Amino acid sequence: MSDHTPPSSWAAEAARLIWDHWQTGQVLSALPEACRPASAWQGYAAQAQLPLVSGREVLGWKIAATSANGQAHIKVGGPLAGRLLSGQVMDSGAVVPSASNRMRVAEPEFAFTMAQDLPAQATPYTPAQVMNAVASLHPAIEVPDSRLDPFTQAGEAQLLADNACARHFVLGPAAPDVWRELDLSTYPVHARVDHGLALRYTREGTGGNVLGDPRIALTWLANRLSSLGIPLQKGQVVTTGTCMVPLELQPGDRASADFGVLGRVEMIFSET
Protein backbone atom coordinates (compact mmCIF):
# COMPACT_ATOMS: atom_id res chain seq x y z
CA MET A 1 0.00 0.00 0.00
CA SER A 2 1.66 3.25 -1.17
CA ASP A 3 0.83 6.88 -0.45
CA HIS A 4 -0.92 6.95 -3.82
CA THR A 5 -3.19 3.98 -3.11
CA PRO A 6 -6.78 5.27 -3.20
CA PRO A 7 -8.08 5.54 0.38
CA SER A 8 -11.08 3.28 -0.19
CA SER A 9 -11.62 -0.08 1.41
CA TRP A 10 -8.48 -0.22 3.57
CA ALA A 11 -9.10 3.23 5.06
CA ALA A 12 -12.75 2.47 5.80
CA GLU A 13 -11.76 -0.83 7.41
CA ALA A 14 -9.17 0.90 9.60
CA ALA A 15 -11.76 3.48 10.67
CA ARG A 16 -14.35 0.77 11.39
CA LEU A 17 -11.91 -1.13 13.59
CA ILE A 18 -10.90 2.01 15.48
CA TRP A 19 -14.51 3.10 15.97
CA ASP A 20 -15.65 -0.36 17.07
CA HIS A 21 -12.90 -0.45 19.68
CA TRP A 22 -13.88 3.01 20.91
CA GLN A 23 -17.46 1.77 21.35
CA THR A 24 -16.48 -1.37 23.25
CA GLY A 25 -13.61 0.13 25.24
CA GLN A 26 -11.19 -2.48 23.91
CA VAL A 27 -7.69 -1.75 22.70
CA LEU A 28 -5.55 -2.78 19.73
CA SER A 29 -1.83 -3.45 19.81
CA ALA A 30 -1.80 -2.42 16.15
CA LEU A 31 -4.16 -2.21 13.20
CA PRO A 32 -4.05 -5.32 10.96
CA GLU A 33 -1.37 -5.10 8.29
CA ALA A 34 -3.96 -5.04 5.47
CA CYS A 35 -5.37 -1.72 6.72
CA ARG A 36 -2.50 -0.32 8.74
CA PRO A 37 -1.45 3.14 7.54
CA ALA A 38 2.26 3.51 6.93
CA SER A 39 2.51 7.27 6.47
CA ALA A 40 0.90 10.46 7.71
CA TRP A 41 -1.02 10.74 4.42
CA GLN A 42 -2.50 7.28 4.95
CA GLY A 43 -3.21 8.02 8.62
CA TYR A 44 -5.20 11.11 7.68
CA ALA A 45 -6.99 9.15 4.95
CA ALA A 46 -8.14 6.57 7.50
CA GLN A 47 -9.15 9.29 9.96
CA ALA A 48 -11.25 10.95 7.26
CA GLN A 49 -13.45 7.86 7.19
CA LEU A 50 -14.36 8.11 10.89
CA PRO A 51 -17.34 10.46 10.42
CA LEU A 52 -18.73 8.10 7.79
CA VAL A 53 -18.38 4.89 9.79
CA SER A 54 -19.53 6.50 13.05
CA GLY A 55 -22.41 8.59 11.69
CA ARG A 56 -21.03 11.54 13.69
CA GLU A 57 -20.67 15.15 12.56
CA VAL A 58 -17.31 16.94 12.56
CA LEU A 59 -17.73 19.83 15.02
CA GLY A 60 -14.12 20.94 14.86
CA TRP A 61 -10.50 19.92 15.26
CA LYS A 62 -7.89 19.20 17.90
CA ILE A 63 -4.14 19.48 17.73
CA ALA A 64 -2.02 16.92 19.54
CA ALA A 65 1.68 17.11 20.37
CA THR A 66 2.10 20.90 20.25
CA SER A 67 5.07 20.81 22.61
CA ALA A 68 8.49 19.19 22.33
CA ASN A 69 7.72 17.08 25.41
CA GLY A 70 4.41 15.93 23.93
CA GLN A 71 6.07 14.98 20.67
CA ALA A 72 8.80 13.06 22.46
CA HIS A 73 6.24 11.25 24.62
CA ILE A 74 4.44 9.73 21.62
CA LYS A 75 7.55 9.65 19.40
CA VAL A 76 6.38 11.94 16.61
CA GLY A 77 8.22 14.70 14.79
CA GLY A 78 5.50 17.35 14.91
CA PRO A 79 1.88 18.12 15.73
CA LEU A 80 -1.05 15.88 14.74
CA ALA A 81 -4.57 16.98 13.77
CA GLY A 82 -7.71 15.11 14.78
CA ARG A 83 -11.45 15.59 14.38
CA LEU A 84 -13.80 16.61 17.20
CA LEU A 85 -16.94 14.54 16.61
CA SER A 86 -20.49 15.14 17.77
CA GLY A 87 -21.27 13.36 21.03
CA GLN A 88 -17.77 14.10 22.31
CA VAL A 89 -18.01 17.88 22.80
CA MET A 90 -19.39 19.12 26.13
CA ASP A 91 -19.96 22.41 27.96
CA SER A 92 -18.02 23.56 31.01
CA GLY A 93 -19.09 21.72 34.16
CA ALA A 94 -19.83 18.49 32.30
CA VAL A 95 -19.33 15.04 33.76
CA VAL A 96 -16.84 13.31 31.47
CA PRO A 97 -16.97 9.50 31.37
CA SER A 98 -13.95 7.80 32.90
CA ALA A 99 -14.88 4.25 31.87
CA SER A 100 -12.29 2.69 29.52
CA ASN A 101 -10.22 5.88 29.49
CA ARG A 102 -6.65 4.71 30.04
CA MET A 103 -4.78 8.01 29.68
CA ARG A 104 -6.77 9.62 32.51
CA VAL A 105 -5.55 13.17 31.98
CA ALA A 106 -7.13 16.58 31.45
CA GLU A 107 -5.40 19.11 29.21
CA PRO A 108 -6.18 22.86 29.65
CA GLU A 109 -6.18 24.46 26.20
CA PHE A 110 -6.86 27.65 24.25
CA ALA A 111 -9.66 26.98 21.74
CA PHE A 112 -10.88 29.13 18.85
CA THR A 113 -14.25 29.19 17.08
CA MET A 114 -14.22 30.17 13.42
CA ALA A 115 -16.23 33.07 12.02
CA GLN A 116 -15.64 32.19 8.38
CA ASP A 117 -14.37 29.40 6.17
CA LEU A 118 -10.71 28.96 5.34
CA PRO A 119 -10.90 26.88 2.15
CA ALA A 120 -8.02 24.75 0.90
CA GLN A 121 -5.65 26.81 -1.24
CA ALA A 122 -2.29 26.47 -2.96
CA THR A 123 -0.44 29.03 -0.81
CA PRO A 124 -0.10 28.88 2.98
CA TYR A 125 -2.33 31.04 5.14
CA THR A 126 -0.59 33.75 7.16
CA PRO A 127 -1.28 34.10 10.89
CA ALA A 128 -3.08 37.39 10.17
CA GLN A 129 -5.39 35.74 7.64
CA VAL A 130 -6.20 32.94 10.05
CA MET A 131 -6.84 35.24 13.02
CA ASN A 132 -9.08 37.47 10.91
CA ALA A 133 -11.26 34.39 10.37
CA VAL A 134 -11.67 33.73 14.12
CA ALA A 135 -14.93 34.55 15.91
CA SER A 136 -13.94 33.87 19.53
CA LEU A 137 -11.44 32.38 21.95
CA HIS A 138 -12.51 29.95 24.68
CA PRO A 139 -10.86 28.30 27.68
CA ALA A 140 -11.16 24.56 27.17
CA ILE A 141 -10.15 21.16 28.52
CA GLU A 142 -9.43 18.14 26.37
CA VAL A 143 -9.67 14.63 27.84
CA PRO A 144 -7.80 12.49 25.31
CA ASP A 145 -7.40 8.74 24.99
CA SER A 146 -6.30 6.11 22.48
CA ARG A 147 -7.45 2.70 21.36
CA LEU A 148 -3.84 1.71 20.65
CA ASP A 149 -1.86 0.01 23.40
CA PRO A 150 0.78 1.15 23.99
CA PHE A 151 -0.12 4.40 22.24
CA THR A 152 3.38 5.75 22.90
CA GLN A 153 4.77 3.12 20.51
CA ALA A 154 2.05 3.23 17.83
CA GLY A 155 3.72 5.79 15.59
CA GLU A 156 2.40 8.84 13.76
CA ALA A 157 0.40 7.04 11.06
CA GLN A 158 -1.60 4.84 13.43
CA LEU A 159 -2.14 7.67 15.93
CA LEU A 160 -3.62 9.75 13.12
CA ALA A 161 -5.93 6.88 12.18
CA ASP A 162 -6.92 6.82 15.87
CA ASN A 163 -8.02 10.46 15.46
CA ALA A 164 -4.91 11.87 17.14
CA CYS A 165 -6.20 10.50 20.48
CA ALA A 166 -9.37 12.66 20.42
CA ARG A 167 -11.92 11.50 22.95
CA HIS A 168 -13.83 14.08 25.00
CA PHE A 169 -13.63 17.86 24.84
CA VAL A 170 -15.03 20.46 27.24
CA LEU A 171 -15.60 23.95 25.81
CA GLY A 172 -15.78 26.94 28.11
CA PRO A 173 -17.64 30.20 27.42
CA ALA A 174 -16.32 32.72 24.90
CA ALA A 175 -13.69 35.05 26.33
CA PRO A 176 -14.04 38.83 26.24
CA ASP A 177 -12.65 40.37 23.04
CA VAL A 178 -9.72 41.74 25.01
CA TRP A 179 -7.97 38.45 24.13
CA ARG A 180 -7.10 39.89 20.71
CA GLU A 181 -4.89 42.49 22.39
CA LEU A 182 -3.03 40.05 24.65
CA ASP A 183 0.26 38.25 24.13
CA LEU A 184 -0.96 34.68 24.34
CA SER A 185 2.61 33.34 24.18
CA THR A 186 3.22 34.51 27.75
CA TYR A 187 -0.36 34.31 28.99
CA PRO A 188 -0.58 32.32 32.27
CA VAL A 189 -3.09 29.57 33.02
CA HIS A 190 -3.66 28.15 36.52
CA ALA A 191 -5.19 24.71 36.97
CA ARG A 192 -6.25 22.63 39.96
CA VAL A 193 -7.56 19.14 40.58
CA ASP A 194 -9.88 18.52 43.54
CA HIS A 195 -11.47 15.37 44.88
CA GLY A 196 -14.56 16.12 46.91
CA LEU A 197 -13.65 19.00 49.21
CA ALA A 198 -9.93 18.23 49.13
CA LEU A 199 -7.43 19.91 46.85
CA ARG A 200 -5.20 17.27 45.27
CA TYR A 201 -2.74 19.56 43.45
CA THR A 202 -2.31 22.67 41.31
CA ARG A 203 -0.37 23.26 38.09
CA GLU A 204 0.69 26.23 35.98
CA GLY A 205 1.18 26.76 32.26
CA THR A 206 1.36 29.38 29.53
CA GLY A 207 0.32 29.80 25.93
CA GLY A 208 3.98 29.52 24.98
CA ASN A 209 3.76 25.76 25.53
CA VAL A 210 1.48 25.53 22.47
CA LEU A 211 3.92 25.69 19.53
CA GLY A 212 5.14 28.95 21.04
CA ASP A 213 1.70 30.62 20.81
CA PRO A 214 -1.85 29.26 20.36
CA ARG A 215 -2.21 31.53 17.31
CA ILE A 216 0.73 29.74 15.69
CA ALA A 217 -0.92 26.39 16.43
CA LEU A 218 -4.19 27.50 14.84
CA THR A 219 -2.31 28.68 11.75
CA TRP A 220 -0.53 25.31 11.59
CA LEU A 221 -3.90 23.54 11.68
CA ALA A 222 -5.40 25.70 8.93
CA ASN A 223 -2.43 24.99 6.69
CA ARG A 224 -2.28 21.29 7.47
CA LEU A 225 -5.95 20.94 6.56
CA SER A 226 -5.41 23.02 3.42
CA SER A 227 -2.58 20.70 2.36
CA LEU A 228 -5.01 17.79 2.71
CA GLY A 229 -7.67 19.57 0.63
CA ILE A 230 -9.90 20.11 3.69
CA PRO A 231 -11.51 23.47 4.53
CA LEU A 232 -11.58 24.83 8.08
CA GLN A 233 -15.24 25.79 8.31
CA LYS A 234 -17.25 28.57 9.86
CA GLY A 235 -18.62 27.49 13.26
CA GLN A 236 -15.99 24.82 13.81
CA VAL A 237 -13.93 24.92 17.00
CA VAL A 238 -10.19 24.25 17.11
CA THR A 239 -8.50 23.33 20.36
CA THR A 240 -4.80 24.00 20.10
CA GLY A 241 -3.09 21.62 22.52
CA THR A 242 -2.30 21.53 26.20
CA CYS A 243 -0.65 24.62 27.67
CA MET A 244 0.81 22.68 30.62
CA VAL A 245 1.84 19.22 31.71
CA PRO A 246 -1.43 17.23 31.50
CA LEU A 247 -3.41 16.93 34.73
CA GLU A 248 -3.47 13.37 36.04
CA LEU A 249 -7.02 12.31 36.92
CA GLN A 250 -8.70 9.77 39.15
CA PRO A 251 -12.41 8.91 38.89
CA GLY A 252 -14.38 11.47 40.88
CA ASP A 253 -11.85 14.28 40.38
CA ARG A 254 -12.87 17.81 39.42
CA ALA A 255 -10.41 19.58 37.11
CA SER A 256 -10.59 23.31 36.53
CA ALA A 257 -8.49 25.79 34.59
CA ASP A 258 -8.46 29.51 35.35
CA PHE A 259 -7.57 31.72 32.37
CA GLY A 260 -7.90 34.96 34.35
CA VAL A 261 -9.77 37.66 32.41
CA LEU A 262 -10.39 35.11 29.65
CA GLY A 263 -12.59 32.97 31.90
CA ARG A 264 -12.44 29.51 33.38
CA VAL A 265 -13.51 26.00 32.49
CA GLU A 266 -14.10 22.89 34.59
CA MET A 267 -15.14 19.27 34.35
CA ILE A 268 -15.79 16.26 36.57
CA PHE A 269 -14.22 12.90 35.77
CA SER A 270 -17.00 10.42 36.46
CA GLU A 271 -16.83 7.96 39.35
CA THR A 272 -17.51 5.05 36.99
Phi and psi (nearest 5°) for 258? -105, 115
Using alpha carbons only, give the angle 30, 37, 34 rounded to the nearest 5 degrees. 70
- pLDDT (mean) for 92-115: 97
Confidence of residue 7 (pLDDT cuts 50, 70, 90): low
Q: Is there a domain that residue 74 lies in?
A: yes
Query: Which are the contacts of 20, defined by CB distance < 8 A and separation ≥ 6?
Result: none
Kindly report, residue by residue over 139-195, the tens digit of the pLDDT. 999 999 999 999 999 999 999 999 999 999 999 999 999 999 999 999 999 999 999
Query: Which are the contacts of 15, defined by CB distance < 8 A and separation ≥ 6?
Result: 46, 47, 49, 50, 52, 53, 54, 161
- pLDDT (mean) for 111-122: 98
The rounded distance, in Å, linking the Cα atoms of 85 and 221 is: 17
Could you list the residue range(s) of the whole structural domain that residue 78 is in? 57-269
Q: Is there a domain that residue 173 lies in?
A: yes
CATH number of domain containing 204 = 3.90.850.10
Q: Is there a domain that residue 42 lies in?
A: no
Q: Is there a domain that residue 221 lies in?
A: yes
The rounded distance, in Å, linking the Cα atoms of 16 and 18 is: 5
